[in-house]
Amino acid sequence: MGFDDALNKAKDLAGEHSDQVSKGIDGAADQVKERTPDNVDQHVDTGADAARDKLGLGGDDKKDK
């Protein structure tokens, strides 16, 4: 299985379980933000949005701060 196959499989699974995946991304972002200085929070949010975009979940679905 190549990278593209793995990515497509991840996208399919993310689409089937989008709420759980979004919660996981949010949880990971929150953990990173707790352990890093406040000045990197925006970068973490940008990364979380990019992960959502890559998985086809949309980057604007991040939770309220």
**Is residue 21 in a domain?**
yes
Structural domain span for residue 44 = 3-54
pTM: 0.73
Q: Count Cβ atoms within 10 A of the Cβ of residue 32 and give its class: 0-12 exposed, 13-18 middle, 19 or more buried.
A: middle
Number of domains the chain is built from? 1
- What pLDDT does residue 60 have? 56
Residue 59 within a domain: no
pLDDT tens for each residue of 3-62: 889 888 888 888 888 899 999 999 999 999 999 999 999 999 999 999 999 888 876 544
Confidence (pLDDT) at 12: 87
Q: Can you list the pairs that 10-14 forms with residues at least 24 positions away whose Cβ atoms lie under 8 Å? A: 10/55, 11/54, 11/55, 11/56, 14/55, 14/56, 14/57
